[in-house]
Amino acid sequence: MKIGVVTFPGSLDDRDAVRAVGAVGAEAVPLWHGDADLRAVDAVVLPGGFSYGDYLRCGAIARFSPVMEALVPAARGGLPVLGICNGFQVLCESHLLPGALIRNDHRKFSCLDQRLVVENAATAWTSQFEQGQEITIVLKNGEGGFVADDRTLDELEGEGRVVFRYAGDNPNGSYRAIAGITNERGNVVGLMPHPEHCVEPGYGPSLDGLPFFTSVLQAMAQA
């Protein structure tokens, strides 16, 4: 099983994502932003960071990178893709997922051990969770406020495409406390929290990141 991890200039959590992939026994394949080549991987992680510095809208430049030219059609064709934080922003900018991420309502970067509720345990990246399960995942960003128009929000809710919701206080003003969503097919998942920081005992607040990666292994095995 090969899982690609994309490195954009300014990607920060790419090495962490590689480690997380390794933690579940899969092979991590580095993918370079400048190459329109997915190197025959079975799934892709778009990691966190500040791609190209994010001086424009977050993810707005990464969207136009050569690797995304290859990734967008593959994702539309069913390739499992997980966008974490900046990766989620890239997925929204690429229109693989609806909505957008804006500056946190308190206007600060914040790094928290965040409780989440798993709302959809049927996607390629969440099948190893139980629906309604509460998990703790690191949340760290400056622009994590999920926004979309009411129709889109209703659609996401109605189709069960809200995958994670913040538990407790809404940490950033996300509409309907949405922390992560999926596309119609359930193969593309984007979320602001960082599962790759929750995969090793002794590092990070929990091991709740592991099921993301065991889920996709199972999805790939069934594919």
Question: Does residue 110 touch another protein according to CB under 8 A?
Answer: yes
Q: Are the CB atoms for 187 and 80 separated by under 8 Å? A: yes
Stretch that binds another protein, among 69-77, 93-101, 120-128, 137-145 (CB under 8 A): 137-145
Which helix (H) or strand (E) covers residue 16, if one does? Answer: helix 14-23
What is the Cα–Cα distance from 21 to 178, expressed in whole angstroms? Answer: 25
111 among known catalytic residues? no
Question: Does residue 15 touch another protein according to CB under 8 A?
Answer: yes
Question: Does residue 52 touch another protein according to CB under 8 A?
Answer: yes
DSSP annotation of 220 reads H
Question: Does residue 54 touch another protein according to CB under 8 A?
Answer: yes
Question: Does residue 158 touch another protein according to CB under 8 A?
Answer: no
**Range list of β-strands (E), 51-92:** 81-84
Stretch that binds another protein, among 94-102, 103-111, 149-157, 179-187 (CB under 8 A): 103-111
What is the Cα–Cα distance from 13 to 148, expressed in whole angstroms? Answer: 26
What is the Cα–Cα distance from 152 to 99, expressed in whole angstroms? Answer: 8
Q: What is the binding site for another protein (CB under 8 A)?
A: 9-10, 12-13, 15-16, 19, 48-50, 52-55, 106, 108-112, 138, 140, 142, 194, 196-197, 200-204
Active site residues: 85, 194, 196
